[in-house]
Structure 1
Amino acid sequence: MSAGSAGPGESALRGVEAVVLVGGRGTRLRPLTLSAPKPMLPTAGVPFLTHVLSRLRAAGITHVVLGTSYQAEVFAEYFGDGAALGMELEYVVEQEPLDTAGAIRNVADRLREQDVVVFNGDILSGVDLHGLVHTHRHHSADATLHLVKVDDPRRFGCVPTDADGRVTAFLEKTDDPPVDQVNAGCYVFRRPVIESIPPGRPVSVERETFPGLLASGARLQGHVDASYWLDLGTPAAFVRGSADLVRGAAPSEALPARPGEALVLDRAEVSSEASVTGGSTIGADCVIEAGAAVTGSTLFARAHVEADAVVERSVLGAGARVGKGAVVRGGVIGDGAVIGAECELLDGARVWPGVELPPSGVRFSHDC
């Protein structure tokens, strides 16, 4: 979400507010999301949502409504009314799952402006907000979708557009997709369109709202760009996104330090004989002992990596411990879990909070 602008200018965002949907349970990121909602997981030193909000503020959007559900109180406890960010934040709790469009409709009574930018709260994006809103207004669209081109669109629903960028269809996942551009999870709606979504029941934005708008003759516009984009819904993507933020490959206004190979937070102890690289984040009060190598990983507060251990492309929860000479590659270690000396965790292995794997030299490739 670029704070800069090429062409449309800062004035393009006058009369714009934002909705950020943060109600998901983040099941694909368990066990990390057992203790915190996905948008509140530490990501490059701060809760992921901080990166989203700070870039909205930098782009000139100050009124934001958060659509919450799972552990809803955590958001208000951390961000309050938004004054510390120079914003006005409001919270609307989703009492039962309403799907994407239903969640957007659920916050309609808090909206004030004619144009509303909507974000999925687990997307790390570099979309130029000024350009997105300019596209929306230039074409007098009812709704505008941020679209990105991907190498393998078979994993997504495709969104074809005509020569003028107008959306022509919404296609389900297929083995032979006709286009390589997909829905990036960021939209601009005219507020009356939001108010027309049926209230009080689950509504899918892709399967019901957008196809219904097309059928009615409404103008749906696509805004395609080549900006950074990543869905942080899986552990591998979460680790990659955090590392990209630390190294400056992904945009953020909230990084606690200058971009570099590592972000080491307050009171962390990193031995001069340890290696910390690849955009790793070492949380507050962590300990990295001599001979340890941490690469492209995210360590929450108080994690401990003992001597000669290797941690690659992994997440260590708060207070987790990796024993001497152990190897963790592509793993997710829950809060307070202990990996015994000489153990090896292979890609995809998850260790649940509080579990202790004894020193053994055994390889684990499954949940523990």
Structure 2
Amino acid sequence: MKALVLSGGAGTRLRPITHTYAKQLVPVANKPVLFYGLEAIAEAGISEVGIVVGDTAPEIRRAVGDGSAFGLDVTYIQQSAPLGLAHAVLIAREFLGDEDFVMYLGDNFIVGGIADLVDEFRGSRPDAQILLTKVADPTAFGVAELDISGKVVALEEKPAAPRSDLALVGVFLFTSAVHEAVRGIELSARGELEITDALQWLIDHGRDVRSTTISGYWKDTGNVIDMLEVNRAVLEGIGGRVEGSVDEASEIIGQVTIEAGAEIRGSRIVGPVVIGANTRIAGSYVGPSTSIASDCRIESSEIEFSIVLTGATIQGVRRIESSLIGRNVEVTPATGVPAAHRLVLGDHSKVRISS
């Protein structure tokens, strides 16, 4: 069995971060979200992985390499444009051959991995198996309709009038039957080859399409709020360790990870928090559900429920929360009336705010 990981999307909902950064590499608890998917694939006993890449291919290649760090053998498949999930299957035909495969969206996050799902599929081998979960706003997802017996009868991509609240999770399992399906569909109104249309083709042609409804934790990390929420969930489960330097004037509370080379001076850190290598925090408060990457500087500031990327500097800022701060960003005070701050800053930005 092989795996096909999709990492070619533009990440429009995470702009401006993704103007200069692959969305699959935005970190969750200081580790790229893509890495969690690759680890889940390896844990499921799959070693051959094709990664579909687009404009951010050089970044993905640098981060993942040949896959050996994950126990994987990685092949890169270039996609000329983001033309849909079914298009990714179409262009990966040579890599996939006639083997069964799992397709995993590189910006999705599933707690607990996919090993049980893969084992279930291997045991029964339907033509396709999909994961579903109930969502509040089905119009933002592919949506499945089930009959009274629980059988999948219809699928639709981002419907204006959803026929159910069951959204497709970004993990799909297929036999080689899907290759005929992706060749048999046409471009949607969005100009893409939709995987929902390919699944509907299988259903319409009498193929066996099964579903598993999950109640566990799943997120599509395509927007800032979901990214912050995933970061919170992961931080709560990683425990704490201190390998950096913490002075006597500092207070560490709860599950806090401080990487080697990091320095904490005269500060209060309330977990769950992770602080990357060679980051310096002085005279500051870092609150729960915050991850701070390596080589950052936080001085005389307060921050919580946020993600800070490599090389960022925050100095003299009274309060930051619910924020995603890009690489090498500088956040410093400006004159004016103090205000609360909610920030999404692109890489190399310089912002002056009231403090």
TM-score range, shorter chain: 0.7 to 0.9
Report the TM-score, using the length of structure 1 for normalisation.
0.81
Map 1:1-368 to 2 at 5 A.
Answer: 16-112=1-97, 114-126=99-111, 129-136=114-121, 140-153=125-138, 155-162=140-147, 164-171=149-156, 177-194=162-179, 196-198=181-183, 202-206=192-196, 208-248=197-237, 261-271=255-265, 273-277=267-271, 279-307=272-300, 309-341=301-333, 344-347=339-342, 349-358=343-352, 360-361=354-355
How far apart, CA to CA, are the structure 1 residues paired with 2:112 and 2:268? 37
The structural deviation recorded for 1:23 is: 0.5
More displaced, 176-185 or 72-81? 176-185
How far is the alpha carbon of 1:123 from its aligned partner?
0.6
1:265-309: per-residue Cα shift (whole Å, max 9, x none)?
3322223532242x33322222221242333223232222212x2
Q: Distance in 2 between matches of 1:329 and 1:78?
A: 28
| Structure 2 spans left out of the alignment, 5+ residues | 243-253
Query: Is the CA contact (8 Å cut-off) linking 1:326 and 1:340 kept in structure 2?
Result: no
Deviation at 1:217, TM superposition (A): 2.1
SS in 2 for 1:340: strand
Cα distance in 1, alignment partners of residues 137 and 100 from structure 2: 32
Could you tell me which amino acid in structure 2 is paired with residue 41 of structure 1?
A: V
1:159 match: secondary structure? strand
Q: 1:151 to 1:64 in 2, by over 3 A?
A: same
Shift in CA distance, 173/86, structure 1 to aligned 2, threshold 3 Å: closer
CA distance in 2, matches of 1:163, 1:139: 22
Residues 274 and 289, structure 1, Cα contact 8 Å, conserved in 2: no
Unaligned runs of 5+ in 1: 1-15, 250-254, 362-368
* Structure 1 residues 159 and 320: alpha-carbon distance in aligned structure 2, compared to 1, 3 A threshold: same
Flag the 1:113–1:344 CA change in 2: closer, same or farther, 3 A. Answer: farther
Shift in Å, 1:26: 1.4
Compute the displacement of 1:239 (Å).
1.9
In structure 2, distance between residues paired with 1:274 and 1:310: 10
CA distance in 2, matches of 1:27, 1:173: 16
Moved more, 115-124 or 28-37: 28-37
How far apart, CA to CA, are the structure 2 residues paired with 1:106 and 1:124?
24
CA distance in 2, matches of 1:306, 1:344: 19
**What is the one-letter code of the residue matched to 2:276?**
G
**What is the aligned partner in structure 1 of residue 246 from structure 2?**
none
- SS in structure 2 at match of 1:145: strand
1:133-168 CA distances to partner (integer Å, 9 max, x unpaired)?
A: 354455542111111123454544431223554211
**SS of residue paired to 1:322:** strand
Whether the 8 Å CA contact 2:103–2:171 is kept in 1: the answer is yes
Alignment partner, residue 11 of structure 1: none
Q: Is the 8 A contact 1:139 1:221 kept in 2?
A: no
| Kept in 1: contact 2:43–2:115 (CA 8 A) | no
The change in CA–CA distance for 1:358 and 1:227 in structure 2 (over 3 A counts) is closer
Percent sequence identity is 25
Look up the equivalent residue of 2:265 and give its one-letter code.
S
1:194-236 Cα shifts (integer Å, max 9, x gaps): 3542399841112x21222222222211111222201111112
How many residue pairs get aligned? The number is: 336
Q: 1:9 matched to which residue of 2?
A: none
Question: Contact 1:331 / 1:345 at 8 angstroms: preserved in 2?
Answer: no
Offset at residue 126 of structure 1 (A): 2.9
SS in 2 for 1:285: coil
Shift of 1:72: 0.4
Is the CA contact 2:279–2:294 (under 8 Å) kept in the aligned structure 1?
Answer: yes
CA displacement, residues 69-88 of structure 1 (integer Å, 9 cap, x when unaligned):
12202222232222232211
Report the Cα distance in structure 1 between the residues aligned to 2:218 and 2:102, rounded to whole angstroms. Answer: 17
Q: Deviations over 1:13-64 (max 9, x none)?
A: xxx2111101012122223223321112222232222211112112211111
TM normalised by structure 2 equals 0.83
Deviates more, 1:174-183 or 1:79-88: 174-183
